[in-house]
Chains A and B, each alone.
Chain A
């Protein structure tokens, strides 16, 4: 069956450190993978999109990798700040199905 798994536990890190979140998938062949941020009481907000033929993508302090052999994406936040505390969701399409399936998310807390 198809499955998307993100870090099973919440992630707590110290300010200034690099946060690394994982997104593993099974029985999908995504052409695209996206990362979203969700704050309590709000809808998800788009952060980055990476294509299957891209290994890495960066945006300011954010970096995403996409390994179609390992069926995994890693999401890094460097020089983390308390304002980065939120839930981060990965989403992937399935062979250009026109729709995205979301993982359950990882809650990140950055402590000052």
Chain B
């Protein structure tokens, strides 16, 4: 298996533009997680899905952020409109079962820079 795949790996955009990050989880995993990592705030969970259903989105910072999982092999995280404070590395992770008692497999991340 290729592991968790994220695209793009790097994204540079201007404030106000829409940004879409993509994730393909490991086949057979039924949980998917979106995290954001910054020096100031560390690794924060934004949202997680179980069997394609959003279970907890309490970490989504505001309405500008939205996430979807239309099927078991694809998820998107959208920021509209983007702001400079959204600059961070965004990781997608997947696991078989919930994350507490199961290993999470992380993708390589998308480094987002909003100018």
Contacts and interface: CB of A to CB of B under 8 A. Distances in A.
Nearest to B47: A99
B98 to A, nearest CB: 4
B56 A98 contact: yes
A44 B45 contact: no
Contact of A45 (B44, B56, B100, B106): B106
Contacts of B55: 98-99
Contacts of B105: 46
Interface in A81-104: 89, 91-93, 96-104
Nearest to B45: A99
A98 B50 contact: yes
A43 B42 contact: no
A100 B95 CA distance: 12
In which size bucket is the chain B interface?
Answer: 20 to 34
Contacts of A34: 103-104
Interface residues of A, number: 27
Given A98-B50, A98-B56, A102-B42, A46 B104 contact: yes
Contacts of B25: none
A43 B100 contact: no
Interface of B: 4, 33, 35, 42-45, 48, 50, 55-56, 91, 93, 98-101, 103-109
Interface of A: 30-32, 34, 36, 41-46, 49, 51, 89, 91-93, 96-105
